[in-house]
Amino acid sequence: MKTTRVAGLLVVSLLVSAVAACGEDAPPPKVPETVVDAAPPPPPPPPVVEDASPPPPPPKPSMKDMQSSAMQAALDGLNSHDAKKFASVYADNAIIKVAGANEVNGKDAIQANMQEWFETFTKIKLGFSRVWTNGNVVVLEWVINGTHSGQLFGVKGTEQPIGHNGLSIVWFDDDGKVKEEHRYGELGVVMTQIGATKEKPRPIPTVPATAELTEGTDADNAKVQGPAKAAHAALVSNKPEDFGGLVTDDVEYDGILSINTVKGKKDAGGLFTTLRTAFPDMAFKDEKVWGFGDYAIVEYTMTGTQKGKLGTFAASKRPVNVHLVDIYKMKDGKIARGWTYQNSLELMSQINEVKVPMVTPPKTGAAPAPAKPAAPAPKK
């Protein structure tokens, strides 16, 4: 029995060895592969939703920029003889008040009026010499040249060159359109240049290429209004000593009611006396005063009776009602220089120096009355 157990153990040992020997050539057990799940793709971008609302409007230009654009467009239209372009800067219900002549009411009437002007005066060229701005008010000093080719107050075209200085006071609305203009064109000078009056014609001024710009503020109004109003008050109250205290020693004055230029305080005193002698009952009304830097600009109406000589005009004993604008250049609170704009034809017709009917302006909003002037008859 013992021998048998040993033999059995030997057999088992041999079997284990054989199995082990066979296991050296067998491939290792296959390890199952680990599968790593891939990351999911990113979601698609959301669809673009179109904004149905319109884009916001561009910012509104400043009043200064709108005024500048309007003035340039009007100048371009005038110098290219394009009445429509000229009128485009005016509001639909705009009014132009021309001193001594009709009102022009509405954009369409303004265009028609300018077209008629181009037919009366060909070769028109205009330039600004000075521009004053303060808020919605712009004052334009201009020079115009041209040729008298069409009928003017009954005078047929002479093909004579004409030219004069002029002034416009312009008010703008909030959209940058001109809503009102007061225009002072020197038609009296034009009548002398075409030989329709006995007066010696003034030289034709040169059209300026550039303009002097002065911007005003409310503080300017306070600074210059006092001396300007005081000068008018001295004239009305006939106080030459007060007037003398308001002007510099080397003051210059030009243009008022067709009187020649005066220089110096002494000559200015003589001008004071001349005006008071010609119109002893003179009065000023509807005065409006603006300040622009060192400038005071005064728009007003003068009334009175011409009882004395005025320049070359003899005493007519006739009442007058004329529209004027004074411009004062101030220095140290005094008037250093002054000049006046007017339509001298307005005065000349009222004192019977020339037979040109001046039309009473219609009420605001009325259509301009057609002018049917008679031929002028200069006083012999």
Chain CA centroid to CA 209, Å? 17
Rounded Cα gap, residues 43 and 46, in angstroms: 9
Q: What is the structure's pLDDT at 366?
A: 36
Q: Where in the chain is the domain with CATH 3.10.450.50?
A: 62-215, 218-361+372-380
Residue 34: pLDDT over 60: no
Inter-residue contact 313 to 353 (CB < 8 Å): yes
pLDDT band at 370 (very low <50, low <70, confident <90, very high): very low
Inter-residue contact 179 to 171 (CB < 8 Å): yes
Rounded Cα gap, residues 143 and 208, in angstroms: 7
Structure-model confidence comparison of residues 349 and 131, the more confident one = 131
Structure-model confidence comparison of residues 267 and 128, the more confident one = 128
Average pLDDT, the chain: 84
Residue 319: pLDDT over 90: yes
Residue 374: pLDDT over 90: no
Assigned token pair, 303: 């009334």
Q: What is the structure's pLDDT at 294?
A: 93
- Range with the poorest average pLDDT among 55-59, 194-198, 287-291, 363-367: 363-367
pLDDT band at 5 (very low <50, low <70, confident <90, very high): very low
pLDDT digits (tens, 9 = 90+) for 157-169: 999 999 999 999 9
Least Cα distance to 339 among 321, 324, 351 occurs for 324
3-class DSSP state of 12:
helix
Structure-model confidence comparison of residues 279 and 33, the more confident one = 279
Task: Write the burial class of residue 32 (CB in 10 Å: 0-12 exposed, 13-18 middle, 19+ buried).
Answer: exposed
Q: What is the structure's pLDDT at 271?
A: 86
Q: What is the structure's pLDDT at 21?
A: 47
Least Cα distance to 144 among 130, 162, 158 occurs for 162
Residue 10: pLDDT over 90: no
pLDDT digits (tens, 9 = 90+) for 208-256: 999 999 999 888 888 888 999 999 999 999 999 999 999 999 999 987 6
Inter-residue contact 145 to 157 (CB < 8 Å): no
Q: What is the structure's pLDDT at 11?
A: 40
Longest dimension (CA), the chain: 182
3-class DSSP state of 123:
strand
Residue 352: pLDDT over 90: no
Q: How many CA atoms lie within 13 Å of 111's alpha carbon, on the beta-carbon side? A: 14
pLDDT digits (tens, 9 = 90+) for 57-112: 888 899 999 999 999 999 999 999 999 999 999 999 999 999 988 899 999 999 99
pLDDT band at 310 (very low <50, low <70, confident <90, very high): confident
Tally of CB atoms within 10 A around 90: 25
pLDDT band at 202 (very low <50, low <70, confident <90, very high): confident
Q: What percent of the chain has pLDDT over 70?
A: 81
CATH topology of domain 62-215: Nuclear Transport Factor 2; Chain: A, (3.10.450)
CATH entry, 218-361+372-380, from 1.20.1260.10, 3.10.450.50, 3.40.50.300, 3.40.50.1000: 3.10.450.50
Q: What is the structure's pLDDT at 258?
A: 52
Residue 320: pLDDT over 60: yes
Q: What is the structure's pLDDT at 4?
A: 45
DSSP secondary structure, 322-342, as one string:
EEEEEEEEEETTEEEEEEEEE
Rounded Cα gap, residues 287 and 246, in angstroms: 19
pLDDT digits (tens, 9 = 90+) for 118-136: 999 999 999 999 999 999 9
- What Å distances lie between residue 48 and 44, 59, 143, 155, 233, CA to CA? 12, 28, 60, 73, 74
